[in-house]
Amino acid sequence: MSVIYFLISISIVVAVFFLVAFIKAVKSGQYDDDYTPSVRMLFDDELIKKTKNNNQISITEEKQ
């Protein structure tokens, strides 16, 4: 029974260590993404242009 208490206490210590390491990484900016927002706007504009062009073609065909 004492082995179970020992293993549980060791696992809690290891879990706390990883939690502290994760919090330290988040606060230091390890997970900040600086590249994706600059590229995302390029893909968003491309999708909007395709839908606008398709709508304009259908409107001009109906007028003729």
DSSP 19-57: HHHHHHHHHTTTT--SSHHHHHHHHHHHHHHHHHHHHHH
Q: How far apart are CA 30 and CA 52, in angstroms?
A: 39
Residues 23 and 37 in one domain: no
Domain hosting residue 7, numbered range:
1-31
Instruction: Say yes or no: 40 and 23 in one domain.
Output: no
Residues 21 and 37 in one domain: no
> Given this model, what pLDDT does residue 4 score?
97
Condensed to tens digits (0 to 9), the pLDDT of residues 5-62 reads: 999 999 999 999 999 999 999 999 888 877 777 777 777 655 555 555 555 555 555 5
What's the total number of domains in the chain? 2
Instruction: For residues 22 and 43, state if they share a domain.
Output: no
Reply yes or no on whether the pLDDT at 1 is more than 60.
yes
Between CA 44 and CA 46 the distance in angstroms is 5
Q: How many CB atoms lie within 10 A of CB 13?
A: 9
Of 2 and 42, more confident? 2
41 shares a domain with 63: yes
User: Model's pTM, two decimal places?
Assistant: 0.51
Asked if residue 41 and residue 22 are part of one domain, the reply reads no
